[in-house]
Amino acid sequence: MQDLKKNNEETEIKNEESKVEVKEEKSNVVEEIKNEIKEETVKVKIGTVGNAVLFAFFALVVATGILAYYLIHSTKDNIDQQYSNLVSDLAAYENIVEEGGSVANIIDEAIAGTGLVPANNTVATEVTDDRKIMNEELVVLYKGLILDTTKMDEVKLKYIDNKIDESDKYVITYYSYEHYSYKDSKLGTFSTQLYDGLVKIEGVGKVAISENYEAIPRDVKVINTVPSVITNTGFTDYDTVKTIITDLDGNGVEEYIVIYANKKSGYSKISFYDSKGSFVDDLASIEKSKWRKGSNAEYYLSIDNVDILDVDNDGIMELLIEIPHATGDSTVSLLKYNNGKLTGKTRIECSLID
């Protein structure tokens, strides 16, 4: 009986051990299944991320290609349009040149149209344009002073009254000429006060005009002798001679302005000769007795006293003869030569004596 009981106890113990083993096996199987699921999940995630990166890279390549295509064709269209505009502009310029303009003048107008002025000039282009409108007539300056060109005569140069409201109309862009050629274009500004409220324009050349046109349309030459076409033999008495040669009225033949001086006698003169070398008239002269008293300074009329410029935009170049005075304020003798006729004041006797 005891043996039977013992056997039963052993059988129960074995059954319990079997149950434990089964549980452990189930637990191991479950753990293995969980691990396999985790590994598959990680693989799926890695695969998904890789696909996303690959797709993004592909999209970037496509977008870059589209952008490059657009830029290339857009640039081509712009270049085609610019080329077309350039051809049109060149055609327009050719028409202007054929109608009598010059390339230099076209360039000057193009530069002037930009409104560019030196950095120290602060007046806006729009303002200077408005001020030009205020000037009903062409403004001509001689050494910064206003030169009245409405008639051919000996003209007194005029200062600008800075006390009046309209004085600003002279602060505009001027086109300057010196030594018988165009110099530059600059904004003219007021000088410091010279007299009671009176000023002049600074920053411009010897002769300056307010409009942009070809004021010296034909060549002006200077030689240090008398041309052979002039048969006057009286020049042998003078030790300094210069001749200005140019076609003043544009008729295809040249005239001659002769400046000569005798340093021994102190006499100097400016004379005018036509295209055939024939004497027309004396324009101005000064003798030693008219030099400034109490000074050792000598004064001779020279090429510096003569300027040639179309001051009224009629295609004819006028003569500007600077006439010295004892006061220091010069006058200017304006003369026009056209079709064999000389208009203006001639035979002016200069004097530096009060």
Mean pLDDT on 211-219: 96
pLDDT digits (tens, 9 = 90+) for 234-280: 888 899 999 999 999 999 999 999 999 999 999 999 999 999 999 99
- Output the pLDDT for position 133: 53
User: What's the average model confidence in pLDDT over 211-216?
Assistant: 96
pLDDT of residue 103: 44
Structure tokens at 272: 């005018």
Place of tokens 């007194």: 156
Confidence of residue 167 (pLDDT cuts 50, 70, 90): confident
- Write down the pTM of the prediction: 0.64
Q: Is the pLDDT of residue 69 over 90?
A: no
CB 170 within 8 A of CB 203: no
Cβ-based neighbours of 284, under 8 Å, separated by 6 or more: 269, 270, 301, 305, 321, 323, 333, 347, 348, 349, 350
Strands (DSSP E) along the chain, which ranges?
140-142, 145-146, 154-156, 160-161, 173-178, 181-187, 189-190, 198-199, 201-202, 207-209, 220-223, 240-246, 255-262, 267-273, 279-286, 306-309, 318-323, 331-338, 341-343, 348-349
Give ∠ CA 103-108-113 in degrees, rounded to 5: 125
Is residue 268 a contact partner of residue 285, using CB atoms and an 8 Å limit? yes
CB-based contacts of 253: which residues, under 8 Å, 6+ apart? Answer: 247, 275
Mean pLDDT lowest among 15-19, 165-169, 267-271, 291-295? 15-19
Whether the pLDDT of residue 73 is over 70: the answer is no
What is the spatial distance between Cα 238 and Cα 142, in angstroms, rounded to a whole number?
Answer: 30
Quote the mean pLDDT of the chain.
78
Higher pLDDT among residues 260 and 30, named by residue? 260
Q: In this model, does residue 335 exceed pLDDT 60?
A: yes
Cα–Cα distances in angstroms (integers) from residue 341 to residues 36, 214, 323, in the given order: 120, 23, 22
Instruction: Count Cβ neighbours within 10 Å for each residue of 96-117 and write b for 16 or more, e otherwise.
Output: eeeeeeeeebeebeeeeeeeeb
Percent of the chain with pLDDT over 70: 61
DSSP structural state of residue 271: E
pLDDT at 312 over 50: yes
CATH top-level class of 220-349: mainly beta
The residue extents of the domains of the chain are 1-100, 117-209, 220-349
Alpha-carbon distances of 205 from 32, 102, 216, 306, rounded to whole Å:
103, 22, 15, 15
Average pLDDT rounded to a whole number, residues 95-114? 45
